[in-house]
Amino acid sequence: MNKFIPLSVPNFKGNELKYVTEAIEAEWVSTGGTFITQFENKTSEYVKASGAVACQSGTAGIHIALMLCGVTREDEVIVPTLTFIAAVNPVRYIGAQPIFMDCDDSLTIDSTKLKKFCDEECYFESGKLINKLTRKHIKAIIIVHVFGNIADMEEIMKVAIKYNLKVVEDATEALGTYYTRGKYKDKYAGTIGDIGVYSFNGNKIITTGGGGMIVSNDKEMLKRAKHLTTQAKSDELYYTHDEVGYNYRMTNLQAALGLAQIEQLEKFIEIKKYNYDLYKEELSDIRGLEILNFREGTRSNYWFYSLLCKDKEYGMNKDEAIKYLSDKSIQSRPIWGLIHEQKPYLNCQTYIIERAEFYADNVVNIPCSTNLSKKDVEYVIECFKNVNRE
């Protein structure tokens, strides 16, 4: 049997054991301890944000971010349909309603359709963008930087500024991605809108097992984020609480792991890019297969590799390719089911969903771990090349 090649698994070759051992020996293993502060400081320093607040997960971070942006149950939030459902569920936690938007060829939210929707399907009155269909206030947009590919933030921010929309950046897949030119040159994904969120789930480019991070350049937002994620204590000694808070704080053990991981982040991105380039070069010669590009004018973190599988040209569709790879001991996966087609969201408003359906039907994510060897990548490539020979 061939060696199993997983899709995306952690890489623990740095100071992980050392730092976690230190946390255990100090007996600070819960939601207090120096590693949390160190990890927050290291993350905000890395992405050049004013500060960071560690939290339980990326999902928790998005929930808090929406609250910080003033979203209430009376409001609506524009969201992408092509994303993991965790980016959208927090809208419903608050009781607000999502409006689903299509993606462009970067797999991120389509900025042209976003503008067209706001211009034509809404009206702007007293500083508020009002949905003509529902007469509700659209207060915010959640932008998801899919697979490490940053969205078209220049155009998105123009729309947001014009219509007084808060921008929550779900950068859970894009830690380390930044613009290399344009208005936002040197700006990292997660630091351009009002507030950004990162995830450290086990399959992310760096991991704490589970965990997230909220970043912003608004210090008042950060202060309130810390307050809400730690049960909203107004007096920590006497346990006085001034509002409903959440048990969303990251643990010191997780932060110890995260600190060791972020020390290796740039090295991980180098490995990701090397393997991406190898895939791209070798697979480009196979008719019907194409590794999708990352946006020009950016440095991606190359988190996930998206393989467009054209059935009629390649002779195998997405689902057949996933089964074929599995038989070869290679783990792959389709893009998530589109959110507007999921049972909890079937009755929600959508706006001209086209490209998202195409990519959901035709894209396969292939192995991209940072401990993937060149030999592993070459084996995956060889399997694709041998399809029509078997």
- pLDDT by residue (tens digit) across 351-360? 999 999 999 9
Residues 234-260 have a mean pLDDT of 94
SS3 209: strand
pLDDT at 236 > cutoff 90: no
Report the distance separating Cα 182 and Cα 19, nearest Å.
39
Sorting pLDDT into bands at 50, 70 and 90, what band is 333? very high
Please name the residue that has the structure tokens 């078209």.
152
Q: Which residues contact 192 (CB under 8 A, 6 or more apart)?
A: 153, 157, 167, 169, 184
Question: Which whole number is the average pLDDT over 332-360?
Answer: 97
Residue 159 has pLDDT above 90, yes or no: yes
What is the model's pLDDT at position 1?
A: 55
HSE-up of 5 (CA within 13 Å, CB side)? 27
- Asked whether residue 146 carries a pLDDT value surpassing 70, the answer given is yes
Query: Which residue intervals of the chain are DSSP H helices?
Result: 16-25, 34-47, 58-68, 89-94, 111-120, 153-162, 219-229, 252-262, 265-283, 311-314, 318-327, 355-362, 374-385
pLDDT for 388 beyond 80: no
- Beta-carbon contacts of 148 under 8 Å, excluding residues fewer than 6 positions away, are 173, 174, 176, 177, 205, 294, 300, 301, 302, 303, 304
For the stretch 8-53, pLDDT in tens is 999 999 999 999 999 999 999 998 899 999 999 999 999 999 999 9
pLDDT at 349 over 60: yes
Give the integer Cα–Cα distance in Å for 65 and 218: 12
pLDDT-above-90 percentage for the chain: 93
- Split at pLDDT 50, 70, 90, the class of 315 is confident
179: which 2 tokens? 């613009």
Q: What is the pTM of this model?
A: 0.96
Question: What distances in angstroms separate CA 333 from CA 146, 279, 361, 367, one per listed residue?
Answer: 15, 16, 12, 9
What is the predicted pLDDT for the residue at 389? Answer: 52
Average pLDDT in the chain: 96
User: Helical H runs in 167-264?
Assistant: 219-229, 252-262
What is the pLDDT averaged over residues 83-106?
98
List CB contacts of 347: < 8 A, sequence separation 6 or more. none
Sign of dihedral through CA atoms 42, 47, 50, 54? negative
Question: What confidence tier does 312 reach under pLDDT thresholds 50, 70, 90?
Answer: confident
